Amino acid sequence: MSFILPTVLSAFAAAVVFTWLVRKAACAWGVLDHPDGVRKLHRAPIPLLGGVGVFGAWIVGMAVGAFYGPESTPADASETLTVESRLAFAGGFGPSLFLAAGVLLLMGILDDVVNLGPRWKLLGQTVVAVILAAGGLMVKRLWLFGVTVDLGWIGFVFSVVWLVGSMNSINMLDGLDGLASTLGLVIGLTLTWMAWLSGDTSLCVVSLALAGALAGFLLFNFPPARIYLGDSGSMLIGLLIGAVAIKGSFKGPATAALAAPVAILALPIVDGLEAVIRRRLTGRAIWSADRGHIHHCLQRFGWSSRQILFGIGALCAATGSAVLLSLYFRNEPIALAATLAVGIGCAATKLLDNHQLKEQADGHGTQSGRTPDSHKRTAA
């Protein structure tokens, strides 16, 4: 317990300082997100590279947590822990987590500066996921409803796909001031509690440092935002929560080993899958941007940015609570039910939004005296 406050406070304070510095640098270097009147509706250019501040603050929180955590105290008082021993405290990931996060950060910065193509981004994400999987983050078996499935080498592929999907799901939702940061904060706190229930205090530090860093960053990113995460930040959040969710499920009860990480990321996963299906059905590339995400739908319903943040944050907190209950009671249907509820809720919201848009389009056509059929007759 002694590591909780030092980890959170150090990450929070570092995020405030680093974000302020990064914002100044981004403005000076011209690394800005310019409004386009279509998808980017902010009134003035906003600095990018917020992920650099989050990454630096996360590292600071991890370092402080490593020195205050229980694993930082040697069994023999006469012994002195090496730097390598302290770094190994980082949730059992070892150096692969730092290497993967560092590579992803550099790729995200490059994308924010020169706008990498989607195929290059996917390649970079795959490389990052392979680094973590090769470092030991590999799902060897799955448990579901009492059935154990040994994956063998497929577990490596499963882990890579999971991590790439996690990165992209958060990245896709980063379309509203503070949304990705709020999701990362709520999910990070859920993962911290999940690791605590599983008895993995070292893994707590990884997610706790992320939560503290995002809390500090939100001071600048809360609507109206003064700096954006950029791809360097949104993909980093997705990578860390995806990795911790899988790692935490290893030490949890077998009954929730698959349901827990899926339920924790239920909203980003469901929204991302719906986006892929929607774009394929309309003949568009799956990486093409649109305004069909859940936050866009809520905007069209008249919700303010802050209402959307609190609403989606509360939804994620509810699914997170279901995950914690499933772990505590060793009952995976609780987590699966929460995932199903989120899926149904998102689908219903988007269907209602589509119906509303169709009614508006039909009403506009009627008012102008040119419904689709009458227009065809006139043309004939």
Q: Model confidence over 212-247: pLDDT tens digits?
A: 999 999 999 999 899 999 988 999 999 999 998 888
pLDDT in tens, 61-96: 999 988 876 554 444 444 444 544 554 456 667 788
- The single-letter code of the amino acid at 295 is H
Confidence of residue 325 (pLDDT cuts 50, 70, 90): confident
Is the pLDDT higher at 380 or at 83? Answer: 83
Q: What is the pTM of this model?
A: 0.84
Number of domains in the chain: 1
Q: Which two tokens stand for residue 1?
A: 């317990």
Q: Determine the 3-state secondary structure of 143 from DSSP.
A: strand
Tokens coding 18: 């680093």
What does the pLDDT look like over 153-178, one tens digit per residue? 888 998 899 999 999 989 888 888 99
377 inside domain: no
Determine the Cα–Cα distance for residues 316 and 269; give it in Å rounded to an integer. Answer: 12
Say how many C-beta atoms besides its own lie within 10 A of residue 79's C-beta. Answer: 10
At residue 258, the pLDDT reads: 58
| Alpha carbon distance 353, 342 (integer Å) | 16
Instruction: Report pLDDT digits (tens) over 119-142.
Output: 899 999 999 999 999 988 887 777
Domain contains 217: yes
Is 172 domain-assigned? yes
Fill in the amino acid letter for 265. L
Contact indicator for 43, 225 with CB cutoff of 8 Å: no
Mean pLDDT of 32-37: 73
Give a yes or no: residue 196 inside a domain. yes
How far is residue 19's CA from residue 225's CA, in Å, rounded to a whole number? 12
Instruction: Write down the pLDDT at residue 188.
Output: 92
Contact criterion met (CB below 8 Å) for 335 and 323 = yes
Residues 6+ apart with CB under 8 A from 3: 64, 65, 68, 69, 70, 201, 204, 205, 208
Contact 61, 209 (CB under 8 A): yes
More confident residue, 250 or 164: 164
Average pLDDT over residues 114-120: 86
User: What is the C-alpha separation between 143 and 151, in angstroms, rounded?
Assistant: 11
Is a pLDDT exceeding 70 seen at residue 341? yes
Identify the domain containing residue 92 by its residue range. 4-366
> Can you tell me whether residue 144 is helix, strand or coil?
strand
In a domain, 147, yes or no: yes
The answer as to whether 379 is a domain residue is no
Mean residue pLDDT of the chain comes to 81
Q: What is the DSSP string of 36-77?
A: -SSS---SS-EE--HHHHHHHHHHHHHHHHHHHSGGGS-SST
User: Tell me, what's the pLDDT at 254?
Assistant: 43
Q: What is the pLDDT of residues 256-301, one digit of tens each?
A: 455 677 787 888 888 888 888 888 887 787 777 777 788 888 888 8
Domain assignment present for 380: no
Would residue 372 count as lying in a domain?
no
